[in-house]
A = this chain, B = another copy of it.
Amino acid sequence: MNYEMGWLNYHRGKTEELPNYMGQLYYTEEDTVLLSAIEELKLAAKGMFGCELAVSKDNTVTGDKGIFLKVNKGAGISEEGYRITAKDSFVLIEGSTSRGVLYGTYAFLRRLHKNPDLTGYREEKSPDNPLRMLNHWDNMDGSIERGYSGESFFFQDNEILINSRTKDYARLAASVGINGVVINNVNVKGAATWLITDRYFDKLKSLQDIFKSYGIKLYLSLNFAAPMELGELHTADPLSEEVKAWWQDRIQKVYDSLPDLGGFLIKADSEGRPGPFTYKRTHSEGANMLAAAVRPYGGLIIWRCFVYNCMQDWRDKKTDRARAGYDNFKPLDGSFSENVILQIKNGPMDFQVREPVNSLFGAMEQTNQMLEVQIAQEYTGQQRHVCYLIPAFKEILEYHTGYGEKDTVGEIIGGTASGSRNCGITTVVNTGNDSNWTGHDLAAANFYGFGRLAFDRNLSAEEIGEEWIRATFGGEKKVVDTILEILMMSWPAYEKYTSPLGIGWMVNPNHHFGPNVDGYEYDRWGTYHRADRFGLGVDRSSKGTGYATTYSESNALLYETAESCPEELLLFFHYIEYNYCLKSGKTLIQHIYDTHFEGAKEAEQMAAMWEQLTGYVPEEIHKRVMERLEFQKNHALEWRDVICSYFYRKSGIPDIMKREIY
């Protein structure tokens, strides 16, 4: 199995001398997680300094020379937090649990990439989110829904794979603080329905144990209709006594075999998946029934809110998919069990390059909430375009929902607002069995960055990017500066050359790659731009579909009028004429032309910048990335020309810059 380890490659620095603290490693107890930390430190010391660490168990080290991994329950550190204190020749990494020590170890290694001189170094951090999860959309046949990095490394031919990648994946995830992984696609069909049966328990147990040694809990996606599809009942009605009994029995069997299982993720009544609606039950009735079954084992039910009518008639201008999540779930606030978490996509649509924050955040004050983002880039270049999404996630986390004092999304999902521990953040992940795990080498920054941001939401996108570059490619200034600039310009560029001002879509049905302006315009998915010869956009104000009114009072007011609406969301909330004057003084149509030419230009610049790194990054990686950036450059031109031509043909208004539009 031939693959690389990205930011865990522990390459040798050019001029590093062996620091005084490198040589001896002490630890306090035999614990699989602590052993993982030890192994990681040994690998790093060997890779970065050519140093073979001597390891000894010793609970009484007081501080002289070496590194000391110390589980210390009495040190006032939170469950997953860590504290690092360093003197010239001695480094103490403490946690109240071995998991905390593991996170401290990775933090220490990050610091080494930045500067091995630890003079005055002290770091203490508790994770901002109780749950920091990855959602794999891996199917058991080995395919990955919306996967752009090869096949699954968890499944093949309806069997579970366990090999060296399994542990190395756990290392990658743990190194950025991930503590939960859902291994199978939320669309649970066929063999995946059988994951909760003894057909798969042995392999799952191995997987659970590997994960556990890196502080990660295994989760499974569940088929709500399992009682029927496993052939045992004729109903899946959550209020049926036999269904309840069936689940209690089934869940007990699962936990008998997999005692450390974190719980289950469920996509119900969504895009054809079964759910409580089939039986005229509410989502809380559905979720609570399962929550009762997992409660004895400390399990969680994570319930997705992606529920909408995917058979809409495009002629129907009253129904609004954006409203669906709010309309379906808001009335249920307070009715969910304590171990149910609603998993809410960042926006009301579906991972577009720009969406408003979902109005459900903060609106359900009596309900556990978890944020779902997507680094798989389904709508943001599919890992063929570089699109560093951490700046976008920062904006989401910092968004003020307008509910209460601690009202940012970050505070809500982190539990700061409510005090809950059943909350957090998850992402649809971007890995596969490609040799570099993420297809596009630069897409690894999204995996890395997601985890880091989930752990510490106050980190800036630049800080995270720089950490990742240093660990992956080394600390040479030209390398760090160039790649960081590419990362930081990539999301804005992608937004510029694709769909304008929050309207989204403009991609081909099914595979979701663009450009195709009318791709979803006359379709059943509720995703329309409503462009005509006068303008475009969807009126979601109180005079339109009313989606704007589902926000807190202050935000609802903001979105209600075109004048007050944040301009990057203008077309999401309003139908705007082409000659409308934006705050920049430009008309809407001129803004569309200008941003598209700018964005395409920036794509060209990114390719040119990467070319300058020839000889500075490993040749094979340079070539791989170069090919993708060249593709992106050309594809950005295609986007630019299609969008500009489409709107020129519709508006008839020429570009004042007289650039060629077709």
Q: Which residues of A contact B (CB under 8 A)?
A: 314-315, 317, 515-518, 522, 531-534, 638, 641-642, 645-646, 648-652, 662
Contact = CB atoms under 8 A, between A and B. Distances in A.
Contacts of A645: 315, 522
Main secondary structure on A side of the interface with B: loop
Nearest to A641: B315
A651 B518 contact: no
Nearest to A316: B662
Contact of A652 (B518, B533, B641, B648): B533
Contacts of A532: 648-650, 652
A642 B522 contact: yes
Contacts of A650: 532-533, 649-650
B533 A651 contact: yes
Contacts of A649: 531-533, 650
Q: Which of A515, A533, A652 has the most CB of B within 10 A?
A: A533
A648 B531 CA distance: 11
Q: Which of A518, A641, A651, A652 has the most CB of B within 10 A?
A: A518
Contacts of A662: 314-315, 317
A522 B531 contact: no
A662 B531 CA distance: 11
A595 to B, nearest CB: 19
A652 B517 contact: no
Contacts of A314: 662
Contacts of A651: 533
A167 to B, nearest CB: 41
A648 B518 CA distance: 15
The 6 closest A-B pairs by CB, nearest first: A532-B649, A533-B652, A315-B662, A522-B642, A533-B533, A518-B518
21 contacts: A314-B662, A315-B641, A315-B645, A315-B662, A317-B662, A516-B518, A516-B522, A518-B518, A522-B638, A522-B641, A522-B642, A522-B645, A522-B646, A531-B649, A532-B648, A532-B649, A532-B652, A533-B650, A533-B652, A534-B652, A649-B650
Contacts of A517: 518
A651 B650 CA distance: 8
Contacts of A518: 516-518, 646
A257 to B, nearest CB: 42
Contacts of A638: 522
Contacts of A646: 518, 522
Contacts of A641: 315, 522
A589 to B, nearest CB: 12
A22 to B, nearest CB: 58
A533 B532 CA distance: 9
A186 B308 CA distance: 45
Nearest to A315: B662
